[in-house]
C-alpha cells in the first residue's frame, strides 16, 4: 500500500482541526502529516495517531516532499500558496472559493461527480458547504426525473464562518442571559437570539455571494448549465450543521415515496422522514456525522411536477473537511 506525505494548511481553524481528525478517523494512508498555519499559531500542538505534531508557520518552501495538501487557510492563502504547492509537485484540495469556478479546476463532490477528479492539473476545489449538501440531495432526483428549477432557503450555523464566530455566539449568548454588554465582530449584527438574512457580500441585484455560489457551483458540479437555483442564505444561532429547505421543479413527475426510495439508496444520504413521529433531520443530530440527512419529503404545492425536502448536514464535515478527504481518497484509488 502506498503512503502519502500530507499537509493541512489552516490546521488551527474550524475546518483544519476537523481535517486532522478525519484523516485519523478514516485511516488515510499518511506517511507524514505536516500542519501549517500563520505565525500566530506556530508551535501549537495537535495529537495525530498518538503522536504530537507541532504546527509550523506556512512558508513559500513548505511543500517540498508533500504529496497532498488540504487547504483551508482562506482565499489569500490559497491564491498565493496553491500555485507554489503545485510547482513543488503537490496536489492541492482547496476549501476556499478562489479556484472553484476556474474552468481548469474540477469542483468535486465524490458522490456526485467523482469522474471530474481525473481532469485536475494540480488543484481540485471543494465546493461551498451549502452547495455540497444540496447537490448530494439533488443528484438522485436529477438522474431519475431531471430538474429545471430549485428554490432554496438555508439555515446556516456559525461554524461556517470559522472559529471567531463560534466564540462570538457563545459569548453573546452568555452576555444576553447575564444582561451584560454585547460585542459584535463576526457579523454586522448580534447573532445570538437572532436570524441574519445575509451571508457573503451583496451584488447589484440584491443577491449575496453565497446565494450566487449555490447557483454557479450546482451547475458546474451537475454539468447542468440550464438549471436555475434561487437561494436565500440565512445565518442562524446554531453552532454546527446547516439546514436547507429545498423546493424542486422536476422535469417529470416523481412521487414522494419514489423519491424517498431513491434518496435512501444513494451513497452518503440518510432519509429520516416520519413526521407523524416527530422524526425529521435536526441540526443537533447532524453534528459530528458524515451523512446528508433528508426528510419532510413531499409534493410541492407550487412547482408541478415538483418536490420539497429538508436537507441537513454538518458543514465542517460533509460541507468541508470530509468532502475534501473523500476527494483525496479518490486520488489514492486512481493512482
Ligand atoms: N467553516 C466552514 O464550514 C467552511 C466550509 C467550507 C469552506 N470553508 C473555507 O475554509 C477556509 C477556512 O475556514 P475556517 O472556517 O476553518 O476558518 P478559521 O476557523 O478562521 O481558520 C482559518 C485558518 O487559516 C489559517 N490562516 C489564516 N491566515 C493564514 C496565513 N497567512 N498563513 C497560513 N495560515 C493562515 C489560520 O491560522 P491561525 O491560527 O494562525 O490564524 C487558521 O488555521 C475558508 O476559506 C472558508 O471559506 C469553511
Query: What confidence tens digit (pLDDT) does each residue in 50-80 have?
Result: 999 999 999 999 999 999 999 999 999 999 9
Q: Which ligand 1 atom is nearest residue 44's CA?
A: 39
pLDDT digits (tens, 9 = 90+) for 249-308: 999 999 999 999 999 999 999 999 999 999 999 999 999 999 999 999 999 999 999 999
- Helices 129-145 + 209-222 axis angle, to 10: 40
CB 33 within 8 Å of CB 6: yes
The predicted model scores a pTM of 0.97
pLDDT tens for 176-203 read 999 999 999 999 999 999 999 999 999 9
Ligand 1 center from residue 161 Cα (angstroms) = 9
| Torsional sign, CA 245, 237, 232, 143 | negative
The rounded Å distance from CA 243 to ligand 1 centre is: 22
Pocket of ligand 1 from Cβ distances under 6 Å:
10-16, 36-38, 40-41, 58, 72-75, 77, 95-96, 129, 159-160, 162-163, 315-316, 319-320
pLDDT digits (tens, 9 = 90+) for 247-256: 999 999 999 9
Nearest CA to ligand 1 atom 4: 160
Q: Which residue, judged by its Cα, is nearest atom 10 of ligand 1? A: 72
Burial 112-135 (b: 16+ CB within 10 A, else e): bbbebbeebebbbbbbbbbbbbbb
CA 197 / ligand 1 centre spacing (Å): 23
- What's residue 253's pLDDT? 98
Query: What's the pLDDT band for 1 if we cut at 50, 70, 90?
Result: confident
The mean predicted confidence, pLDDT, of the chain is 97
Q: Active-site residues: which are they?
A: 129, 242
| The predicted structure's pLDDT at residue 335 | 54
DSSP classification of residue 321 = I
Residue 334 predicted with pLDDT over 90: no
pLDDT band, residue 43 (cuts 50/70/90): very high
Cα Rg of the chain (Å, integer): 20
Pocket probe for ligand 1: among 59, 72, 236, the residue whose CB has the most ligand atoms within 8 Å is 72
Residue whose Cα lies nearest atom 40 of ligand 1: it is 38
Residue-level pLDDT at 297: 98
Q: For residue 73, report the distance from its CA to the centre of ligand 1, in Å.
A: 4
Q: Which atom of ligand 1 is nearest to the CA of 11?
A: 43
> 40-47 contacts: CB < 8 A, separation 24 or more?
41/11, 41/12, 44/12, 46/11, 46/17, 46/20
Amino acid at each position: 500500500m502506498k503512503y502519502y506525505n500530507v499537509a493541512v494548511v489552516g490546521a488551527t481553524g474550524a475546518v483544519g482541526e476537523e481535517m486532522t481528525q478525519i484523516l485519523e478517523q478514516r485511516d488515510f494512508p499518511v506517511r507524514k502529516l505536516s500542519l501549517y498555519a500563520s505565525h500566530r499559531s506556530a508551535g501549537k500542538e495537535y495529537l495525530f495517531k498518538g503522536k504530537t505534531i507541532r504546527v509550523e508557520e506556512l512558508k513559500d518552501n513548505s511543500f517540498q516532499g508533500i504529496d497532498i495538501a488540504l487547504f483551508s487557510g482562506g482565499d489569500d492563502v490559497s491564491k498565493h500558496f496553491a500555485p507554489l504547492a503545485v510547482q513543488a509537485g503537490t496536489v492541492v484540495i482547496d476549501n476556499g472559493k478562489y479556484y472553484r469556478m476556474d474552468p481548469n479546476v474540477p469542483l468535486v463532490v465524490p458522490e456526485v461527480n467523482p469522474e471530474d477528479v481525473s481532469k485536475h492539473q494540480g488543484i481540485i476545489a471543494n465546493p461551498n458547504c451549502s452547495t455540497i449538501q444540496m447537490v448530494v440531495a439533488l443528484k438522485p432526483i436529477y438522474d431519475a426525473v431531471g430538474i429545471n428549477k430549485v428554490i432554496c432557503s438555508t439555515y446556516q450555523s456559525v461554524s461556517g464562518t470559522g472559529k471567531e464566530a463560534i466564540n462570538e455566539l457563545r459569548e453573546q449568548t452568555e452576555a444576553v442571559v447575564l444582561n451584560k454588554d454585547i460585542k459584535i465582530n463576526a457579523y454586522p449584527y448580534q447573532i445570538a437570539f437572532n436570524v441574519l438574512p445575509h451571508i457573503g457580500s451583496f451584488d447589484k441585484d440584491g443577491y449575496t455571494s453565497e446565494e450566487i455560489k449555490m447557483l454557479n457551483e450546482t451547475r458546474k458540479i451537475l454539468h447542468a448549465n440550464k438549471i436555475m437555483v434561487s437561494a436565500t442564505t440565512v445565518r442562524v444561532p446554531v453552532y454546527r450543521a446547516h439546514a436547507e429547505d429545498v423546493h424542486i421543479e422536476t422535469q417529470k413527475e416523481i412521487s414522494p415515496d419514489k423519491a424517498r426510495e431513491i434518496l435512501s439508496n444513494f451513497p452518503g444520504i440518510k432519509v429520516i422522514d416520519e413526521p407523524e413521529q416527530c422524526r425529521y433531520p435536526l441540526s443537533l443530530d447532524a453534528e459530528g456525522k458524515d451523512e446528508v440527512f433528508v426528510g419532510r419529503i413531499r409534493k410541492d404545492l407550487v412547482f408541478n411536477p415538483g418536490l420539497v425536502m429538508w436537507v441537513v448536514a454538518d458543514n465542517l464535515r460533509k460541507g468541508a473537511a470530509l468532502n475534501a478527504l473523500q476527494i483525496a481518497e479518490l486520488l489514492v484509488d486512481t493512482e
